[in-house]
Chains A and B, each alone.
Chain A
Amino acid sequence: MSVLCAIPLFLSLCMSVLAFLLKGDKRFEKIGLLGFAGLVVSSGALLYYSAMNGLLILEIGGWRMPYGISMQVDVFSATINFFISILGLCAYMFSLDEIKEKRSRAGYYSAMFTLFAGANGVLLTGDLFNMYVWVEVLVVSSFLLLSMGQNKKQIKGALPYVLLNFLGSMFILSSIGLIYGLTGALNFAQISLLMDGLGIGPSATFGALFLAGFGIKCAIFPLFFWLPESYHRPPAAVSAFFAGVVTKVGVCALFKVYGLLFYKHMEVFQGALIWIGVFTMVSGVIGAVALYDVRRVLSYHIISQIGYMIFGLGLFGAKAWAASIFFIVHNILAKSNLFFIGAEMNRLGGSYNLQKTRGLYNFYPLISLLFFISAFSLTGIPPFSGFWGKLGLVEAGFEANEYLASSFALLVGLLTTYSMVKIWILGFWETPKSEKCRGPKNKYQMKRIVPIFILSMLSLYIGLWPEMLLSLSKQGSEQLLRPKLYQEQILGGVR
């Protein structure tokens, strides 16, 4: 049963190779769809079993821990992985309609599968260096997707992304090397055990190094500037997949690393993390309020939402982390969906610019409804999914006496509402100006609407009936915050 740990990863790698060998071939479409469906099913099964057993461990190559590499699937990682696989399926479906042959022949679908594989690897691995390897896979796949089929201007926008990400990877690799030099171990559980005895210095330094390195990937303040330059340029399926995967995996890696390795001296980081989170929230929402291009507004929202997750990370308690986990999942669903809807707004309304595309509400009620659900989910208005995460974070914030920071969290929520209402009013309610939306001439495309529908319905579901996800989040956060148990389970030889 523990073999299941590696199945999503292995499957996605095989699909990637297959996609490359069959690139440009129409027959691959169905195979790819089956592939992603298989990923969803196996990730779901993985989630189920890890929730049942607490922790699933697989030793790759049969080499005993802690000298071999192992995959360690806890509830937190399995939950995020499952929702990323659903997102992948939706992004794939959307790509089938959106991506033209030029990109497909350049290896687009191959890169999609490896992007998923990289995310999966980062989340489910139990070895620190292995995590770095999958981070690299993630980063290179994202470069590929970002630069494929673009024009000169768009590639210019990708340059800061490439540079800063490489620097971040460099920092991460250096810190991994140094941790190995210090402890002689690369297995999470063993490093965790050894770090306990080493005092505050190592935890503080390496925690800071990881924050700097992964911080670039999650786009925290003040390292987020690459995101608005690059996320709005590629096709929507790519942006949506990025929004749901790349930055979130960075955040998840931080959770894992802080929860398992540096937890003992967390108080050193708490203040910094909380306020970095607040600054990130505010920076993101400033951009969202000011701009009128839908994709750029959404890119800035990503930054703002990351701020909330870092805020939750900094609060460092079971409740705060459970709320953050819920928040991450809700974001994966709602945020990415908004990118898809933005693409539909462009197709049906004629432009991404809100000052040009208007009046979609009267002609396209379905997309308006789906936008309404996702947009107000993001703002955190009940009964939608964003509320539960925010509630948990503010509660935890108040309990930790961080009143000022929590108030900022609420204020940013209001500004997020303001910017979402701006999109709603301009894009949907206003009287149509462009010829394109004077009449219901454009029909819905199945391949585009089905993913949007799936994500909206899931988002609505976890908003109205949050119990299941809340309990998974709670289980996940409790697991992350009991590294002693983790160490025992893994090094004690439990399979």
Chain B
Amino acid sequence: MMEFINPSYLVALCFLLGALCLWLNKVSFRLSGFAAISGSFAVLLGQFALKGVGSLSYLFALMCSTIGLLVVGYSWAYFKKEPDRFGQFSLFLFAFFGSMLGLLYSKDLINLFIYWEMTSLTSFLLVGFKNGSNKAREAARTALIITGGGGLCLLAGLILLGIENGTYEIAKLTSGSTPAAILVLLGIFTKSAQFPFHFWLPKAMKAPTPASAFLHSAAMVKAGPYLIILLTPIFWTNELWSIGLKSIGLISGLVGGYMAITKRDLKAILAGLTISALGIMCVMGSVYNHAALKAFLVFLMAHSLYKSILFMGAGILDKQFGDRDIFRLSGALREYKPLLVIFVIGLGSMIGLIPFMGFVAKELVLKSIEGHWLLFPVCLVFLFYGVAAIRILYPLISKKPKKVVKKLKFSFYCAPIIGAATTLIFGILPGFLNKLVEDSLGEVGVAQKVDLHLWHGLTTAFILSVAIILCSLLISWFMALKKYPEQSGVSETLYDAFWRNVRAYSGKTVSAWHRSGTSLYLYIFFGFALLLVGGMFFTYWRPVVPNVTQAPTYYEWSTGLLVAGGAILALMAKNIFIGVVGLALSGYGMALLFIMFSSPDLALTQFLVETMTVILVCFIFIRFPTKVPRRGTKRTLVNLAVSLGVGALSIGIMWKVLSYPFSSAAAEYYLKNAYELGHGKNVVNVAIVDFRSFDTLGEAFVVFLAGVGVASLFRLMPGYNKYRGK
């Protein structure tokens, strides 16, 4: 038994491989291909060292890595015509590969989520790889938004699980609530392209075919089923979980099947079949018994194999003939015998012909739902498969090929041939997979011996299979070769409409915001402040009227009136300079009040500052017309209301504060120490330059910066450069 290494090393290895290929590709295309293939082989070998980490992860990862190896080899041949892009492609492919492995080997939910999102991100890069094409970019965006949105639901669900269970470790999870189940299902359905989130998958066929062969058959779309089986032990008691999986799975199965028999693009047909197959997997995964889950795993593995080789075959046809439309590819397979073998084996596995692995899988599926009402819809789905297979195969072998093209290179069909051979071998001798499946099922709690055979005898399942195939042949006679117009489904239309409306709505809102003037912003601010502060003040602190111990003397209140009068004059003046006089009156009045309350320093400062202010304000106002523009009555009233509100609130808070006894500890300290430690009799000055010199430091900088700022603004005036001659 080998010691297992840390899975993160393997993940890191994948990323490093990607970078290595990118770098090597600048040197030599062959060299980077060699590095890629040997690297992925190393990753595959690395899986054997990781067996101890977990059997379920191991099964999925082994499947993933095997197909990954085939795809890497295939992609090298695929990019022979544009070698300089291979490096970048390998980078993204290996990044995806690493993320996928990380996902499968995660031991805790957050780790799993991180890799889940990383697969979405890397697949975004892969789908949009041909970034010159608008359709590819849109497809990439759709894929990312949908899987990303689902990812957010998944995150919410995983966090709920974590909170409920007190831990994120998968092994320690015990229960799951319904909200968590719904959210996790949303995440799974978006990732695995189930209805109504299925439409991103056919669009994503714009990706280079090697990417589709890996992501959309064996890797990314299998993340959903992985999560299903991983979480089944905790969710299986939840009604909504099994209902959700069954219903959405069946609907997707039918929708995908329908898609497969109506599309023309070979890859789109395969995409539809993937959606459908994933639907079947969802249905299988919703039943927590040994037979169903065994069927689930075997079906999953069979699907990965046949789907990837079919995609690879489609890619070969695309490169050789430059087209993916089945009606324009008539007789293409007649030219290339190896390709014919690939398609026959792949399609055969898909519809469940002996002796392919798909047959084993299909038997298990049918057997596990014997006697259950699910049997009918599932058979319907398999019927669609049959029709789709004919739809693909018949045109490709029927007539004579229209174009004469080059010979097919071995390197190109090497990988899919190996894949096809594997399908055949695992079909005939599925016993190789016994231990793998058994251990995995044991890990999720359905421990039982697993014994896979090709031939089980003339069981009900077998008869049913044969019946389905015969029916599909019959139906194909009428339906398989029909041409349907291209149209988007309901979900896609809704999705597009949604984003159109979001953009339109936000556009309108933003332009409304921009058109508003500064005065509106001011009103909003004051309104908000009044509401918030006033609300808090009146609710929690209660205003209070202070008791006046001393009546103000005549000079105090008359100066007060002067201050108020100056302010009112400034507001109501019709001539702008009278307004300035009002301001000055107000300011000098304040200075007088300071003298009356024995603050000479403050008064001196106020006098000087007010003088300066008046001079500067006059300088500014000289450039304005002297007549102050009148505002409308409505505007004036609003302004009045706001000002009175702010004024009243300030007075209210101030009175409340005054009602508390003033704590004079600080004042006493300053008074006591000003002469002794500060060596000065003027406490105010000592406070400014000694006790609180730090404040003055900051304020000095403010004054300095104000000067610099004014100067810089003046430099912008048009006359400046001419006058200064610079």
* Contacts A150-B716, A223-B525 given; does A185 touch B663 at CB 8 Å: yes
How far, in angstroms, from A160 to B156 measured CA to CA in the complex?
39
Selected contact of A290 from candidates B144, B152, B507, B698, CB within 8 Å: B507
Distance from A4 Cβ to chain B, minimum over Cβ atoms (Å)? 16
Number of interface residues of A (CB under 8 A): 104
How far, in angstroms, from A129 to B694 measured CA to CA in the complex?
10
Selected contact of A163 from candidates B128, B518, B537, CB within 8 Å: B518
A381 near B716 with CB under 8 A, answer: no
How far, in angstroms, from A60 to B518 measured CA to CA in the complex?
41
B641 interface contact, C-beta 8 A: no
How far, in angstroms, from A140 to B713 measured CA to CA in the complex?
13
Contact with B along A43-84 (1 / 0, CB 8 A): 000000000000000001101001111000000000000000
B666 / chain A contacts, CB cutoff of 8 Å? 66-67, 184-186
* Contacts A149-B716, A205-B533, A286-B509 given; does A130 touch B144 at CB 8 Å: no
Distance from A433 Cβ to chain B, minimum over Cβ atoms (Å)? 13
* Contacts A163-B522, A421-B141 given; does A107 touch B535 at CB 8 Å: no
Interface residues of A in 191-241 (CB under 8 A from B): 194, 200-202, 204-205, 207-209, 211-212, 215-216, 222-223, 225-226, 228-229
A160 / chain B contacts, CB cutoff of 8 Å? 518, 521
B540 near A212 with CB under 8 A, answer: no
B132 near A431 with CB under 8 A, answer: yes
B715 near A286 with CB under 8 A, answer: no
A362 / chain B contacts, CB cutoff of 8 Å? 131
B669 interface contact, C-beta 8 A: yes
How far, in angstroms, from A127 to B115 measured CA to CA in the complex?
46
A394 near B159 with CB under 8 A, answer: yes
Interface residues of B in 102-146 (CB under 8 A from A): 110, 113-115, 117-118, 120-121, 124, 128, 131-132, 137, 140-141, 144-145
B708 near A144 with CB under 8 A, answer: yes
B528 interface contact, C-beta 8 A: yes
How far, in angstroms, from A211 to B525 measured CA to CA in the complex?
12
Chain B binder among A411-419, A453-461, A482-490 = A411-419
B506 interface contact, C-beta 8 A: yes
Distance from B130 Cβ to chain A, minimum over Cβ atoms (Å)? 10
A96 interface contact, C-beta 8 A: no
A207 / chain B contacts, CB cutoff of 8 Å? 536
B533 near A414 with CB under 8 A, answer: no
B698 near A212 with CB under 8 A, answer: no
B514 interface contact, C-beta 8 A: yes
Interface residues of A in 282-336 (CB under 8 A from B): 286-287, 289-291
A178 interface contact, C-beta 8 A: yes
Interface residues of A in 154-182 (CB under 8 A from B): 155, 159-160, 163-164, 167, 171, 174, 178, 181-182
Query: Which chain B residue lies CB-closest to A201?
Result: B541
B113, B115, B535, B666: most-surrounded residue (chain A CB, <10 A) = B666
B546 interface contact, C-beta 8 A: no
Interface residues of B in 696-717 (CB under 8 A from A): 697-699, 701-702, 705-706, 708-709, 711-713, 715-716
B691 interface contact, C-beta 8 A: yes
A398 / chain B contacts, CB cutoff of 8 Å? 156, 159-160, 163
B537 near A208 with CB under 8 A, answer: yes
A151 / chain B contacts, CB cutoff of 8 Å? 716
A290 near B654 with CB under 8 A, answer: no
A67 near B670 with CB under 8 A, answer: yes
A140 near B716 with CB under 8 A, answer: no
Distance from A323 Cβ to chain B, minimum over Cβ atoms (Å)? 12
B653 interface contact, C-beta 8 A: yes
Q: How many A-B contacts if CB must be within 8 Å?
A: 250
Contact with B along A402-436 (1 / 0, CB 8 A): 00001100110111011001000100111100000
Query: Which chain B residue lies CB-closest to A108?
Result: B712
A61 near B694 with CB under 8 A, answer: yes
A364 interface contact, C-beta 8 A: no
Chain B binder among A27-35, A131-139, A244-252 = A131-139
A395 interface contact, C-beta 8 A: yes
How far, in angstroms, from A129 to B665 measured CA to CA in the complex?
17
Query: Which chain B residue lies CB-closest to A136?
Result: B702
A208 near B152 with CB under 8 A, answer: no
How far, in angstroms, from A66 to B136 measured CA to CA in the complex?
66
Query: Which chain B residue lies CB-closest to A203?
Result: B540
A13 near B510 with CB under 8 A, answer: no
* Contacts A16-B701, A181-B658 given; does A69 touch B532 at CB 8 Å: no
Selected contact of A225 from candidates B516, B650, B663, CB within 8 Å: B516
A376 interface contact, C-beta 8 A: yes
Distance from A225 Cβ to chain B, minimum over Cβ atoms (Å)? 5
B628 / chain A contacts, CB cutoff of 8 Å? none
Interface residues of B in 30-66 (CB under 8 A from A): none
B325 interface contact, C-beta 8 A: no
A42 interface contact, C-beta 8 A: no
B121 / chain A contacts, CB cutoff of 8 Å? 376, 381
Query: Which chain B residue lies CB-closest to A110?
Result: B708
Selected contact of B521 from candidates A137, A164, A208, A430, CB within 8 Å: A164
Contact with B along A428-464 (1 / 0, CB 8 A): 1111000000000000000000000000000000000
A201 / chain B contacts, CB cutoff of 8 Å? 537, 540-542, 656
How far, in angstroms, from A20 to B701 measured CA to CA in the complex?
12
A255 interface contact, C-beta 8 A: no
A117 interface contact, C-beta 8 A: yes
A106 near B712 with CB under 8 A, answer: yes
* Contacts A20-B708, A61-B691 given; does A287 touch B128 at CB 8 Å: no
Query: Which chain B residue lies CB-closest to A225?
Result: B521
Q: What is the interface of chain A mostly: helix, strand, loop, or mixed? A: helix
Query: Which chain B residue lies CB-closest to A168?
Result: B525
B148 interface contact, C-beta 8 A: yes
Distance from A451 Cβ to chain B, minimum over Cβ atoms (Å)? 24
A184 near B662 with CB under 8 A, answer: yes
B432 interface contact, C-beta 8 A: no
A337 interface contact, C-beta 8 A: no
* Contacts A67-B669, A140-B705, A383-B118 given; does A208 touch B163 at CB 8 Å: no
Distance from B562 Cβ to chain A, minimum over Cβ atoms (Å)? 23
A225 / chain B contacts, CB cutoff of 8 Å? 513, 516, 521, 524
How far, in angstroms, from A215 to B529 measured CA to CA in the complex?
10
* Contacts A160-B521, A211-B532 given; does A184 touch B664 at CB 8 Å: yes
Query: Which chain A residue lies CB-closest to B529?
Result: A212
A129 / chain B contacts, CB cutoff of 8 Å? 692, 695
B715 / chain A contacts, CB cutoff of 8 Å? 102, 106
How far, in angstroms, from A430 to B526 measured CA to CA in the complex?
45
How far, in angstroms, from A291 to B513 measured CA to CA in the complex?
13
B152 near A410 with CB under 8 A, answer: yes
B414 interface contact, C-beta 8 A: no
Question: With contacts A204-B536, A398-B160 known, what are 7 further pairs, Cβ within 8 A?
Answer: A66-B666, A137-B701, A178-B657, A286-B510, A290-B503, A391-B110, A411-B152
Binding site for B on A (CB under 8 A): 13, 16, 20, 60-61, 63, 66-69, 102, 106-107, 110-111, 114, 117-118, 121, 127, 129-130, 133-134, 136-137, 140-141, 143-144, 147-151, 155, 159-160, 163-164, 167, 171, 174, 178, 181-186, 194, 200-202, 204-205, 207-209, 211-212, 215-216, 222-223, 225-226, 228-229, 265, 268, 272, 286-287, 289-291, 361-362, 376, 381-383, 387, 391, 394-395, 398-399, 406-407, 410-411, 413-415, 417-418, 421, 425, 428-431
Binding site for A on B (CB under 8 A): 110, 113-115, 117-118, 120-121, 124, 128, 131-132, 137, 140-141, 144-145, 148-149, 151-153, 155-156, 159-160, 162-163, 499, 502-503, 505-507, 509-510, 513-514, 516, 518, 521-522, 524-525, 528-529, 532-533, 535-537, 539-542, 650, 653-654, 656-658, 660, 662-667, 669-670, 690-695, 697-699, 701-702, 705-706, 708-709, 711-713, 715-716
List 3 A-B pairs, minimum CB-CB distance, nearest first: A184-B663, A201-B541, A133-B698
Residue pairs across A and B with Cβ atoms less than 8 A apart, 19 shown, are A13-B701, A60-B694, A67-B669, A67-B670, A117-B701, A133-B702, A136-B699, A140-B705, A150-B716, A207-B536, A208-B533, A208-B537, A211-B532, A290-B509, A383-B114, A394-B159, A410-B152, A418-B145, A421-B141
